[in-house]
Each structure stands twice: as C-alpha cells, then as structure tokens.
C-alpha cells in the first residue's frame, strides 16, 4: 500500500514537472522529489527521530557532493556539445576526457555514499537502504515513462 501511495505521489510530481518549463520551477520539482525520497527512506528504514536526524545529516552531506559533481557534468556536457557543433577536434577530445573523469568521480561518490551510510544504520536498515537506492531511480523512470505512454495514448484517441 505504501508503495502505491509513493508512486501516486511521484506521478503527481512528474505531472507537475511536465507542465513546467521555467528552470526555477524545475528546481522546485527536483526538491520535491528529493523530499519524497527522503521521507520514503525514513519510512522504509523505520528510523526514530534521533536516528533519522543523524541519517539525514550524513545523507544530505553525500547528496551535496554528488549534486556538485552532476552540475559539473551538465556544464561539461554542454561544452562538449558546443565543441561537436564547432567540429573542434582538440576540444572534443579534451571535453570527452573531462566528462569521463567526472562520470568516474560520480560513480566513486555514489559508492562512497552507499558505503558511508553503513555507519549510521543497522545491518537490516543498511540492506533496506542499499536496496531502495538501487530501485528508486528505476521506479522513478518507469513511472515517468508509464505516465508519458498513458498521456500519449489518451491524446491519440
């Protein structure tokens, strides 16, 4: 039942996100998704207030590092696209290498986050956390795709 409520909430978030074009509103949508994710994690892990606070402090610290890396990836991706458009071979090679290094750093940070959370969770809580983290993005994408398919099929009637 909790999963259905969670997915419905995500559908509403994505329905709202699909109507949003302005960057400021898109950022708010991402913040809402992040908030829902954290609330769901605390619910699944069944953390008391004290443990939830410790968990969120550490979780947010890792997320901040990951988000900083993702911003660099977005910037470098845009720079690579520009180099490709300009057909600038030297810049293409340099930006491709930069992007690969940033992607490697993202993978390292993600693994560091997963491993780092072990120190504030019991073995069972940690297993639930790792499982949730691995499933969350897939469920988010699946939900978004399902919603788009439903809208597309509804519009073609």
**Per-residue CA distances from 149 to 19, 137, 154 (Å):** 16, 18, 8
Instruction: Look over the chain and give the mean of its residue pLDDT values, rounded to a whole number.
Output: 85
At 9 the pLDDT is: 60
pLDDT, one tens digit per residue, over 75-120 is 999 999 999 999 999 999 999 999 999 999 999 999 999 999 999 9
At 79 the pLDDT is: 97
Q: Is the pLDDT of residue 22 over 80?
A: no
Give percent of the chain with pLDDT exceeding 70: 79
More confident residue, 111 or 16: 111
| Number of neighbouring beta carbons within 10 Å of residue 35 | 11
pLDDT, one tens digit per residue, over 24-43 is 666 787 888 888 899 999 99
The whole-number average pLDDT for the span 65-81 is 97
The whole-number average pLDDT for the span 122-151 is 86
Measured N-to-C along each axis, helices 2-19 and 123-155 cross at an angle, to the nearest 10 degrees, of 50
**Per-residue CA distances from 10 to 35, 73, 147 (Å):** 11, 25, 10
Given the structure tokens 């978030």, which residue do they identify?
A: 13
């Amino acid at each position: 039942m909790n999963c259905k409520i969670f997915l419905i909430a995500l559908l509403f978030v994505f329905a709202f996100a699909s109507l949003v074009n302005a960057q400021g509103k898109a950022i708010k949508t991402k913040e809402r998704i992040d908030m829902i994710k954290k609330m769901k994690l605390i619910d699944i892990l069944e953390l008391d207030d004290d443990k939830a606070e410790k968990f969120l402090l550490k979780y947010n610290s890792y997320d901040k590092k990951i988000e900083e890396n993702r911003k660099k990836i977005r910037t470098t991706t845009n720079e690579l696209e520009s180099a490709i458009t300009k057909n600038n071979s030297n810049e293409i090679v340099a930006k491709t290498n930069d992007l690969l290094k940033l992607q490697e750093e993202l993978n390292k940070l993600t693994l560091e986050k997963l491993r780092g959370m072990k120190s504030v969770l019991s073995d069972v809580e940690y297993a639930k956390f790792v499982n949730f983290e691995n499933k969350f993005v897939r469920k988010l994408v699946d939900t978004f795709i399902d919603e788009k398919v439903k809208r597309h099929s509804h519009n073609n009637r």
